Amino acid sequence: MLYYWQDVVAVPLTLLIVCLVRRLRGMCEPMPISHIVGTVIAFAVVFEMILPLFSSRFTPDVWDLWCYILGGIIFYLFIRAKRLLKPKLIED
């Protein structure tokens, strides 16, 4: 249980970096929710399906999937809360 926090914060940190890069490149349109869902799916496929095939250091774990989903939800709620303060940060 101690190491699951890394899986929970992986998706929000990745998406935060994406948001910062988008802002630096002058892309001010809101991040679609499909980007959040796509990131969660990409993390699940890469880290829970593909990498375990190539290395024994990676083991598939259902709890990791739930952590990626939770991380996506946390990021969505964070952006949603910012939207209440400043409109147009995320599309529904």
Place of tokens 């970096």: 17
88: left (phi over 0), alpha (psi -120 to 50) or beta: left
Q: Which tens digits make up the pLDDT trace of 28-53?
A: 777 889 999 999 999 999 999 999 99
What is the rounded CA–CA span in Å between residue 8 and residue 66? 8
CA dihedral 77, 79, 84, 85 (to 10 degrees): 130
Structural domain spans, the chain: 4-91
**Residue 82 has what pLDDT?**
73
**Residue 68 has what pLDDT?**
96
